[in-house]
Amino acid sequence: MQCRIKIGCFEAEHEAWELFGNIRGAGDNNEKCGHLERLEGAKEGLTLLKGDLLDPDSLFAAIDGCSGVFHMACPVPSYTSTNPEVEVLSHAIKGTLNVLEACKNSKVKRIVMTSSVAAMAFDLHKPKDTPLDESCWSDEDYLRESNHWYMLGKTMGEKAAWDYSQKNGLDLVVICPSLVLGSLLQASPNTSSLVVLKLLNGSSDSYENSSVGVVDVKDVANAHLLAYETKSASGRYLCRNKTVTRAQMIEIIRRLHPDYTLPTRMIEPQISLSMAKEFSQKIVNELGLKYTPVETTIKETVESLKEKGLF
Ligand SMILES: NC(=O)c1ccc[n+]([C@@H]2O[C@H](COP(=O)([O-])OP(=O)(O)OC[C@H]3O[C@@H](n4cnc5c(N)ncnc54)[C@H](OP(=O)(O)O)[C@@H]3O)[C@@H](O)[C@H]2O)c1
């Protein structure tokens, strides 16, 4: 979703924002928009517009007149694409450049873009325990050779964004979240919530005990707001709370729901996203982001998947 913001009236000490969400299915797809239209305050402050990253006119129509843009849209496939140049890379790279061009033409003051830890953490040339920070970039050659198309798209898309912004004098701030979990707004699971859903839906009695950096969806949303509102915000921000193994996730769920059937047979992991043991705290130090405890994030993910009848 793209959000366009017009900062207008003031309420007490808080600015009231007029929000415009640019969505592919707006107008004709209730599953994509219903949960957004039902949000508190949406009737008064949120307008959903039809738009596609690959359709520059639709982006310009949404962005023109806005003070700020949150560029979040990008395909996050849960399968290996057979046509990645078209299905993944074009949206991640050309789509991002289309957004930035519309921002330039509309004289947008600040753009906050959602990149990913995927654009940072995959560099097998680095020593395994190198701290992960905002100077790190994933290795494009490795990602292409290993068919990690989503990660390649995020890496190339973010690099293209920096290049375009620097050449055109745009104020870009980038948030790089790790695996995002927590309450879902929409009815169907997105790719990241499948990580937890697979433990709950009885699809397997075994699990690969890989580690993953987890962050709560509400903290990611807050990070975007802080990046927009903090004048001094600049550059990239890793947004990652804690490393959690699948065994630890299962343990947290078992403590909360001893009656659930969870996988019991552990398999040693083949590859893990990042071997780093230290992670940049720039987002905490510069933007003041506070992380939700990871137990709460897992609990809310499970409760949300249950409430939506997904297991
Ligand atoms: N979830 C995570 O763990 C995680 C971690 C790091 C970064 N991120 C980033 O966070 C952002 C949101 O991801 P998510 O996890 O919330 O996934 P998601 O639910 O699949 O959201 C991706 C959104 O992008 C939209 N989109 C894709 N291509 C588009 C296009 N050409 N034009 C307009 N909209 C398009 C999709 O629209 P449709 O519904 O129409 O396909 C969908 O609404 C992405 O940039 C992702 O890379 C996610």
Active-site annotation, residues: 154
Query: Coil, helix or strand for 87?
Result: helix
Instruction: Give 117-132 pLDDT, tens digit per residue.
Output: 999 999 988 888 899 9
Does residue 70 lie within any of the structural domains? yes
**CA 268–ligand 1 middle distance (angstroms):** 30
Residue 44 pLDDT level (bands cut at 50, 70, 90)? confident
Range of the domain at 91: 2-177
C-alpha 272/C-alpha 6 separation (Å) is 42
Place of tokens 């009695």: 205
C-alpha 170/C-alpha 161 separation (Å) is 10
CB 310 within 8 A of CB 195: no
Instruction: Give 188-244 pLDDT, tens digit per residue.
Output: 999 999 999 999 999 999 999 999 999 999 999 999 999 999 999 999 999 999 999
Counts of helices then strands in the chain (DSSP H, E): 12, 12
The mean pLDDT of 61-75, rounded to a whole number, is: 94
Does residue 122 lie within any of the structural domains? yes
Specify which residues 10 forms β-bridges with. 15
Looking at residue 67, its amino acid is S
Query: Coil, helix or strand for 261?
Result: coil
Instruction: Provide Rg for the chain, Cα atoms.
Output: 20
Instruction: Give 149-161 pLDDT, tens digit per residue.
Output: 999 999 999 999 9
Which pLDDT score is estimated for 5?
56
CB 98 within 8 A of CB 53: yes
Phi/psi at 87 (5° precision): -80, -30
Question: Which atom belonging to ligand 1 lies closest to the Cα atom of 1?
Answer: 43
Question: Which atom belonging to ligand 1 lies closest to the Cα atom of 29?
Answer: 40
Q: Among candidates 42, 45, 37, 36, which has minimal Cα distance to 15?
A: 45
What is the residue-averaged pLDDT of the chain?
92
Specify which residues 302 forms β-bridges with. none
Place of tokens 């325990």: 129
User: What's CA 157's distance to the chain center, in Å?
Assistant: 14
The mean pLDDT of 89-114, rounded to a whole number, is: 97
C-alpha 272/C-alpha 211 separation (Å) is 6
Does residue 150 lie within any of the structural domains? yes
CB 219 within 8 A of CB 239: yes
Q: Is 77 in the pocket of ligand 1 (CB under 6 A)?
A: no
Percent residues over pLDDT 90 in the chain: 78
Percent residues over pLDDT 70 in the chain: 94
Does residue 39 lie within any of the structural domains? yes
| Residue 15, H or E segment | strand 14-23
Residue 12 pLDDT level (bands cut at 50, 70, 90)? very low
**CA 20–ligand 1 middle distance (angstroms):** 17
Question: Which atom belonging to ligand 1 lies closest to the Cα atom of 25?
Answer: 40
Residue 31 pLDDT level (bands cut at 50, 70, 90)? confident
CA distances from 218 to 134, 163, 185, 292, 296 (A): 21, 29, 11, 8, 11
Does residue 292 lie within any of the structural domains? no
C-alpha 138/C-alpha 155 separation (Å) is 7
Query: Coil, helix or strand for 85?
Result: helix
Query: Coil, helix or strand for 157?
Result: helix
Does residue 58 lie within any of the structural domains? yes
Phi/psi at 110 (5° precision): -145, 140
Does residue 291 lie within any of the structural domains? no
**CA 141–ligand 1 middle distance (angstroms):** 24
C-alpha 29/C-alpha 223 separation (Å) is 29
Does residue 118 lie within any of the structural domains? yes
CB 168 within 8 A of CB 104: yes
Q: Whose CA is nearest to atom 37 of ligand 1?
A: 24
Q: Whose CA is nearest to atom 33 of ligand 1?
A: 52
Domain count, the chain: 1
- Residue 111 maps to which CATH number? 3.40.50.720
